[in-house]
Structure 1
C-alpha cells in the first residue's frame, strides 16, 4: 500500500541509517467520502484544520533529512488526523474518547461536534470500523514493517516523531496545564535511553528552553515492539508553533530553518553515537 493511494508515504533513507522521522499530523487532506461524515461546513473545517494540523512539520523533516550526513528515513501521514489519528493505540483510546478524540474524532479541538457520536464520544461501530480498517490498520502495519526493516538492516531503530503544538492551550488538551516550552521532548520509560534525550537537549539548546513531557508526553513505538525490545528507541519532538510559523495555520517563518538544522544535528548525533541500545529512562 505504498502507492499514491496509501494513507502514508515512506521516503527512503540511507541503508545504514537507523533513524525514522515520523510525521503523523502534518497533512490537511480529508478525502471526499470522509468529508461527508464531518458535520462542519467548509469554513469551519478549514478553521479546525488550522488548529489541529502540525503545519509544516513534513517540510521540517524533509529539510532536516537533506542536511544529514546519513539520510534518515521518513514516514509521513498523507491524510489529516481528522480522518483517523494513527497515534491512538487501544490502551489510550478510552482516555481520549472522553474528549471525543479517540482513533476517530467525534469532537473538535474546541469540543464542538465533528461527527455524530454518543455521549461518551463513541461512533457507531458501523461508522468507525471502516475508517480503522481502511486507514488506521494499514498505517500501523506499514510503520511496524519500517521498524522491522531498520532492525534487520542496522540492528536498531530510532523513531523520532516530528510534531508541533500551539502557544495557547486548546480546550481538548487533557494535560495542557503544565509548562509550554519552545521545545517539548516526549519520552518513554522503556524506549527513551538517556543518551537519546541528552542529544536532543543539546541539539535544541538554542531555542530558549526544552521541557520533558509537558504539555505532551510519551512516544510512538509499534505494539509489536513496545515494552519488549530495547533495540527500538523513540523520542517525540514537539515544537511550539510560534517558534517557526504564524499561528494558528499560517505560513512558516525563518524559524523553520533553525528547527530543521537542530533536528538534523540530533539525527547525526544519534546515527553516529549508536543510540538505541541503552537502558531506557523517562517518565512516559
Structure 2
C-alpha cells in the first residue's frame, strides 16, 4: 500500500518485513496557508528550518532500504515539523509545551515567537496531525497482521551544539544517540543498534533526546510493537546548520541497513 497524501507517504517494503523506518522531521516544506500564520520573515524562517530540520534523514532511510537484504517499509513526513510535529503528544502530556513546542510550535529553537500569541493550533491538529497518526497506526497494524510484530525505527538527527529549546541538553551528545522506551524497546533491539552503529565513535542512550515513537493505539499496551529512535549527531554526516551532506551519509545508511537486517529476520518484541 502506498499513501499518496500530500503530507506523508508510506513506501512499501517486503511483505514479510516487520520494520517501519519512520522519518518525521526531514522536510522543509511549509504550505503557503500555514506560512501565513508564522511571524518570522523569510530569512529568519529559513534559518529556523536549518536548525529544526533533520536534514538528509530521508535520504539515509532511502539508501538503507535499498541496501537492506529485506526491504523495510518507510513512513515519511513530507511537511516540515513547523506545520505540526507528529511525534508530540497532542495534549497536556507533552512536556515540550513548556517551551512552546507541542504538536503545534509557537516558539522557535531559540525560544523566540514563531506564531502570534493566542494562536489556535486546533485546525492544524485536525488537518495534519490526526490523519498522519491514523495512517501511521494503520501501517503498524498492517505489519502486525502480516508478520505478527512490528519494529518502528525513528530516523532523526540533532545539532552538535545544544540549542536553547532543549530541555535535557546538558548531558552527553554522542555521535549516535539511541532513544528508548521502557515498554517498547527490548534489550535485543538496543544491542542490535549498538552493534550496527559501532563504527561511529560511540553510541549513547537517551541523551540528549529520549523516547521512541509508537502510535497511541499501541503505546504502553502492545509489546508486539517495538520501537527505537536513532538520533544522529549532525557533524557525523553534514555541514551545520542546514548544509550539504558529506560521505558520512552513505556509511550511516549502511549501518541502518545492518540494523534493519538484524531485526527484520527475527522477533525483537518484549512479549
Same fold (TM over 0.5): yes
3-state SS in 1 of match to 2:99: coil
From 203, 209, 221, give the equivalent of 1:228. 221
Partner of 1:55: 55
Partner of 2:248: 255
Secondary structure at 2:152 match in 1: strand
**Structure 1 stretches (4+) deviating beyond 6 angstroms?**
none
Partner residue, 1:187:
180
1:211 aligned counterpart, secondary structure: strand
Instruction: Supply the distance in 2 between the matched residues of 1:91 and 1:103 (Cα, whole angstroms).
Output: 8
Matched, 1:269 2:270: no
- Corresponding residue of 1:43: 43
2:236 is aligned, of 215, 240, 243, to 243
RMSD: 1.2
1:199 corresponds in structure 2 to 192
Q: CA deviation at 1:92?
A: 5.8
Whether 1:9 and 2:9 are equivalent positions in the alignment is: yes
- Pairing of 1:1-284 with structure 2 (within 5 A): 2-5=3-6, 7-90=7-90, 94-118=94-118, 123=119, 127-276=120-269, 278=270
User: How far, CA to CA, are the matches of 1:177 and 1:270 in structure 2?
Assistant: 32
**CA distance in structure 1 between the partners assigned to 2:173 and 2:4 by the alignment:** 38
- Taking the aligned partners of 2:26 and 2:92, their CA distance within structure 1 comes to 21
CA distance in 1, matches of 2:146, 2:260: 18
Structure 1: gaps spanning 5 or more residues: 280-284
The alpha-carbon deviation at position 117 of structure 1 amounts to 2.5
Displacement of 1:273 in angstroms is 2.9
| 8 Å Cα contact 1:93/1:103 also seen in 2 | no
Q: Any idea what the Cα deviations from partners look like across 1:103-159, whole Å, max 9, x if unmatched?
A: 1100000011000125xxxx3xxx311100100000000000000000000100000
Normalising by structure 2, report the TM-score.
Answer: 0.97
Shift of 1:91: 5.5
Decide whether aligned partners of structure 1 residues 22 and 205 sit closer, same or farther in structure 2, where only a CA change above 3 A counts: same
- Per the TM alignment, residue 42 of structure 1 is displaced from its structure 2 partner at its CA by 0.6
Give SS of 1:196's match.
Answer: helix
1:181, CA displacement in angstroms? Answer: 0.1
Distance change (3 Å), C-alpha of 1:203 and 1:92:
farther
Contact 1:184 1:212 in 2 (8 A): yes
- Asked if the contact 2:3/2:11 (under 8 Å) is kept, the reply is no
Report deviation, 1:3: 2.1
**Distance (whole Å) between structure 2 residues aligned to residue 26 and residue 218 of structure 1:** 18
Q: 1:49-74: per-residue Cα shift (whole Å, max 9, x none)?
A: 00000000000000000001110000
Inter-partner Cα distance in structure 2 for 1:136 and 1:92: 15
Q: CA deviation at 1:97?
A: 1.4
Structure 1 residue 94: Cα displacement: 4.4
TM-score normalised according to structure 1 size: 0.93
Instruction: Kindly tell me the number of residue pairs found equivalent between the two proteins.
Output: 270
